[in-house]
Amino acid sequence: MRAVIYGGVGEIRIERVPDPVILDDHDVIVRVTAASICGTDVRLYWGTMNAMIPIQPGDPLGHEFVGVIEEVGRGIRQLRKGQRVVSPFSIHCGICFFCENDFVTACENLRGFGLSRAWGHLGGGQAEYVRVPDAERTLLVLDERVSDEQATVLPDLLTGVFAGMEFLTGREIVAVVGCGPTGLAAIMCAKLRGALKVLAIDHHPERLARAASCGAITVNFDEEDPLDAVRSHTAGRGVDVAADCVGKPGTIQKTCAMVRRYGSVVLLGYLDPTEQCAIGELSLAHITIRPGLVPPIRKYQYRVMQLIAEQRLDPALILSHTMPLDHASLAYGMMAERRDGAVKIVLKP
Ligand SMILES: [Zn+2]
Ligand SMILES: [Zn+2]
């Protein structure tokens, strides 16, 4: 089969690799119909996340995939050939302390698809086929109202952001810093949760236009100081909630400065483990920091799928392109360089 393979920093290849086979009675083989490229994949391509995910040239990529069940192991009871399914980006063991307490993405035996050997060395989802171990605990059967493309935001992006924004109770003024895929998802989820106003901060005109179509008030930081914008929308006090969706070093301090006393900062973008902020200032202002990255996806996947099916969340506002799997190298380049309006790209085998 054909698969997207990491070739080193800045290099993506399509290679012929052996088809995956059933290795265990609880395995399922999925024929992939759509797989999206994640910001994490782009960071691996840039070489900026390799301390956490030590990917090696030759490793497969892709952890956001949707497909049709092609073959089931002998121990599978609930799933059958021909069903459309989506996976979370990872597989959990179901028996460790963290799994028992519902923190499944903190599982002591967590394995990820297409996320290096250190993460369990499962196959990549940007391929024609994937083997899914522990399939009955892992796969979700898709609602027929949700298309393959739409469902590619369920393994990670939209489900994760939804979980991170679930604490909103309505009528908040929210600042979303960074309008890439994560920021756009955050705007949508804030609106869904009943936010009064969402200020979307970025400087790419195309991304700001998408943010506006998600219902946000846009702030171009090349033209306007975001802090001034925040103050003018909040009678000078700061936003109730700021969502950091930048995923680059050095912005968190600025995001924190936008929040009012007793407000919250939700961290939805990837932060380098050494990233710092003035914890003393935040403590004095009673600002709550909410980690939002890699929440227990499987717990929220069904709800987010239903919200898409009911057209209350619209992945089309995030998914900018659909391209053939064979064009993966071009697609990675477009996302990495933000070329041709690329926000998030779906690959189709
Ligand atoms: Zn992802
Ligand atoms: Zn576990």
121 has pLDDT over 80: no
Phi, psi of 316 (to 5 degrees): -60, -25
For the CA of 153, the nearest ligand = 1
Residue 26 alpha carbon to ligand 2 centre in Å = 16
Residue 126 alpha carbon to ligand 1 centre in Å = 12
Q: What's the pLDDT at 247?
A: 79
Number of domains in the chain: 2
**Residue 75 and residue 22 share a domain:** yes
**Residue 50 and residue 129 share a domain:** yes
CATH number at residue 135: 3.90.180.10
Q: What's the pLDDT at 51?
A: 83
Residue 28 alpha carbon to ligand 2 centre in Å = 20
Residue 34 alpha carbon to ligand 2 centre in Å = 28
Among residues 332, 338, 247, the alpha carbon closest in space to that of 346 is found at 332
Measured on CA atoms in the order 192, 197, 198, 200, is the torsion positive or negative?
A: positive
**Residue 171 and residue 94 share a domain:** no
**Residue 314 and residue 219 share a domain:** no
**Residue 13 and residue 150 share a domain:** yes
**Residue 90 and residue 67 share a domain:** yes
Residue 235 alpha carbon to ligand 2 centre in Å = 47
Average pLDDT over residues 125-140: 97
Average pLDDT over residues 209-226: 97
Range of the domain at 85: 2-156+295-348
Least confident of 110-124, 138-152, 182-196, 224-238: 110-124
pTM for the model: 0.96
**Residue 123 and residue 187 share a domain:** no
**Residue 193 and residue 62 share a domain:** no
Confidence of residue 280 (pLDDT cuts 50, 70, 90): very high
Q: What's the pLDDT at 218?
A: 98
CATH number at residue 164: 3.40.50.720
330 has pLDDT over 80: yes
Q: What's the pLDDT at 235?
A: 97
Last residue of a domain, one of 246, 272, 291: 291
Q: 70 CB contacts (<8 Å, ≥6 apart)? A: 29, 30, 31, 81, 129
Phi, psi of 46 (to 5 degrees): -70, -25
Query: Which residues, chain by chain, have CB under 5 Å from ion ligand 2?
Result: 92-93, 96, 99, 107
Confidence of residue 250 (pLDDT cuts 50, 70, 90): confident
